[in-house]
Structure 1
Amino acid sequence: MVDLSQYLPILLFLAVALGLSAAFVGLPMLVGRLTGAHNPYPDKLAEYECGFPAFEDPRNQFDVRFYLVAILFIVFDLEAAFLYPWAVSVFELGWTAWISMMVFIAELALGLAYAWKVGALEWE
């Protein structure tokens, strides 16, 4: 028989987290409605970009290369985040850590070579 009372702290934590999340989302909207800050008018609802009206349709699709460059940036940013702690402790961790990091860097290098080959880094 499983003792479910051990899960009570987790359920309380989830209840508090959901309650606080709902409060942080709902209370500002409610206060805005009650205090009159919610007053839409055409100038307030108009889109603007850098202080002037948009000159193109705001629903234009972005080129997929924009997203590929963003994903590549995130991947190599994460590489830097993993590489520094590894470099600090590599001598204490031994050959296993060194080999696993070399495999990780090789995978990233293959991914970069593939992105370069298919033209993900070329911009028109």
Structure 2
Amino acid sequence: MYFQFANVLVFFLLAFVLCGLMLGLGLLLRPSNPHPGKLTTYECGEPPSGNAWINFNIRFYLIALVFVIPVATVFRDWIARGQGAFALAEITLFVAILAVGLVYVWVKGDLEWLKRLPQYRGEHAAEPLRRDAA
């Protein structure tokens, strides 16, 4: 029984040795041409402008999800091919799932581009500044 586990162990050891050998040979045989241009962000051949790490607004993703619904119209080809009732049931289920997601996002208010921050009206809320106070 232990012999079967030994075969697996030898297989993994051989795999690690071969991977290390290939990486080591690549490290030794490749040419070394350091250049500061290789450390910049690649922007399709154009000189990079700004930082590569930008804050991407999640609302773009939500708007993209809303436009998935027209993809459901692709399912019409199934009906044209004669798959009838099964295709209709699957299309209905797919569109229903998309509609539930859309209603959830709509009720949550994520389709509004600019959200308003909730106002805290508790006992520890800061009082607004008064201009007439001198």
Q: State the TM-score, normalized to the length of structure 1.
A: 0.45
Q: State the TM-score, normalized to the length of structure 2.
A: 0.43
Q: Which has the higher contact order (CA 8 A, sep 6+)?
A: 1
Larger Rg: 2
The structure with more helix, counted as a fraction of residues:
1
